[in-house]
Amino acid sequence: MRVLIPTDFSDYSEAALRMASELPGITDAIILHVAEGKAGGKAAGKLEEYRILLSSHGISTRIRIEEQVAQPIETTIRSVAEDERIDTIVVGARGKGKVGKYLLGSVSDNLLLNVSRDLLIMQYSRYLKNSSQPEIFDNVLIPIELSSISYEIMAFVKSLNIKGQITLLHVADSADHAKIRLLREQLKDAADLMRNGEERYSISVLVLHGERVKTILSVAETLQATMILLSRFGHLDYLKQAKIGSTVAGVAAEASIPVYIRYPEFTLRMEGRELLPSEFPLAEKLWETYHQQTANPEMDRVFGAFAEGILVSLARCRRHSDGCEVDSVFTPEAYRGHGFAKYAMDALIDSCKEEWLYMHSTKVLVGWYGRYGFEKIPEDALPKTIRERYAFALGNLEGSGVVPMMRKPGGL
């Protein structure tokens, strides 16, 4: 593990640096100082003192000094992290409830929101306690949501040389006893996967109902956890391309113990398939912001893209008396940018490929639909029922920004 430790020589940053040696698997450390002008002899001497300290723990340690220029300090930190291929950035926190602004202004807050590396937020209050206290990874609380992201987090923890207690916590949305029991069984299965062949640590599981941030912090206090380790975002946050999940932001702001924020490396679990008629209300809910489309089981086949089991994109094939029309291809704005529509269209084409398919495409999507075998056709080549849907254009579909297209059976 390669670690970056920014410092301005404050008590908070020095505490973070001194505790960094407790990171399991740490092999290299870069101590970074962003100086206003050239660093003087006093600063250089202090940096060398830090280097010797970390080196005494068997960590290969270098000093890097960057002169502050026009860009914000946090931008320099992120740039150095990229340049040095850093795994984890270690920062200090200024007591309970305050992510430490230990450099200038909102530096730590900016890192919390924007860094694309793991981030370890150390607590200065912990540093002030006696030296006999447990190390930060001795009793770790790991809140998980049982998605692909959670399993990446567990694989990451398993890769570390941790010895001690691990508690997997799932905070449920529902207080329903049957759902709680099912979640507990799923969490036990996850713990078994993590425990497989490992004797270095023991694992326990908890499933509780409540407000997420408050529940996590309460459990951490009850268990006397030495660290909270959680993903930077949950799967819903990731789908919506949030910079950071609301739960982890709340925990980072309120925790009184170190918080390790993992930037997960994972692939969403995706599925493209036809919806059952009983699932049509899910489609109509998604279509609420798209002309409030509805699904008719007597006419429609609806296909969806599911990310981690959540419906994120749709495509419809509607059978008219004189032909099949593909329409209502839609991904809500919150879920755009991942290419989800492809999964819905792939499923539609795979199921309807032996039909003559017609559609009205917007000009900008002609090329995209062309990949599925659709070709531009004259307006009068559309089946009458489908053509009349755009009768308002008065025969001037092109002027309306709409292009008639057709796909032959078999297609590509």
Asked whether residue 246 is domain-assigned, the answer is yes
Separation of alpha carbons 222 and 219, rounded Å: 5
Domain match, 220 and 293 both: no
Quick one: 165 and 206 in the same domain? yes
Q: What is the pLDDT of residue 68?
A: 76
The residue behind tokens 């559609």 is 359
Last residue of a domain, one of 262, 294, 321: 262
Show which of 212, 227, 262 is a domain's final residue. 262
* Domain identity same for 233 and 126: yes
pLDDT at 130 over 80: no
Residue 93 has pLDDT above 80, yes or no: no
The whole-number average pLDDT for the span 375-385 is 92
Tokens representing 103 are 């450099």
Average pLDDT of the segment spanning 390-396: 52
Q: Specify if 22 maps to a domain.
A: yes
Read off the pLDDT band of 308 (50, 70, 90). confident
CA 378, 383, 389, 395 torsion-angle sign: positive
Q: Is residue 43 part of a domain?
A: yes
Percent of the chain beyond pLDDT 70? 89
CA–CA separation, 120 and 77 (whole Å) = 14
* Residue 174 belongs to a domain: yes
Question: Which position has the higher pLDDT, 127 or 174?
Answer: 174
The verdict on residue 362 lying in a domain is: yes
318/302 Cα distance (integer angstroms): 8
Shared domain for 161 and 120, answered yes or no, is yes
The least confident of 50-54, 224-228, 265-269, 379-383 is 265-269
Strands (E), 210-287: 227-231, 259-262, 270-274
In this predicted structure, which of 65-69, 86-90, 301-305 has the lowest mean pLDDT?
A: 65-69
Q: What CATH number did the domain enclosing 101 receive? A: 3.40.50.12370
Please provide the distance, in angstroms rounded to a whole number, between the alpha carbons at the two ends of the chain.
Answer: 48
Q: Are residues 226 and 311 located together in one domain of the fold? A: no
The answer to whether residues 134 and 30 belong to one domain is yes
Which H/E stretch holds residue 275? none
Same domain, 246 and 320: no
Quote the CA–CA distance of 370 and 328 in Å, as a whole number: 17
Between 333 and 400, the higher pLDDT residue: 333
| Statement to judge: residues 207 and 289 lie in one domain | no
Average the pLDDT over 264-282 and give the result: 91
pLDDT tens figures, 203-258? 999 999 999 999 999 999 999 999 999 998 887 777 777 778 888 888 988 888 89
Residues 34 and 141 in one domain: yes
Instruction: State the pLDDT at residue 399.
Output: 56
Other CB atoms within 10 Å distance of the CB of residue 159? 11
Domain co-membership, 194 together with 109: yes
Q: Which domain holds residue 49?
A: 2-262
Boundary-marking domain end, from 227, 262, 297: 262
Please give the pLDDT value at position 171: 94
Average pLDDT on 268-285 reads: 94
In the prediction, which pLDDT does 99 show? 44
Is residue 111 domain-shared with residue 226, that is, in the same domain?
A: yes
pLDDT(131) > 60: no
Most confidently predicted of 98-112, 124-138, 372-386 = 372-386
Calpha distance 83→70 (Å, rounded): 19
Residue 378: predicted pLDDT: 92
Does pLDDT of 391 surpass 80? Answer: no
| Average pLDDT score, the chain | 86
pLDDT digits (tens, 9 = 90+) for 46-63: 899 999 999 999 999 999
Domain total of the chain: 2
Spatial distance between the Cα atoms of 149 and 144, rounded to a whole number of angstroms = 8
For residue 98, what are its two tokens?
């305050």
Q: Tell me if 193 is assigned to some domain.
A: yes
- What integer pLDDT is reported at residue 91 of this predicted model? 86
pLDDT at 96: 38
For residues 338-358, average pLDDT: 95
Domain membership of residue 319 (yes or no) is: yes
Domain contains 412: no
Specify the CATH number for the domain of residue 286.
3.40.630.30
**Res. 392 pLDDT band, cuts 50 70 90:** very low
pLDDT at 45: 87
Mark whether 235 and 349 lie in a shared domain: no
Residue 394 has pLDDT above 70, yes or no: no
Q: What is the pLDDT of residues 177-200, one digit of tens each?
A: 999 999 999 999 988 888 877 677
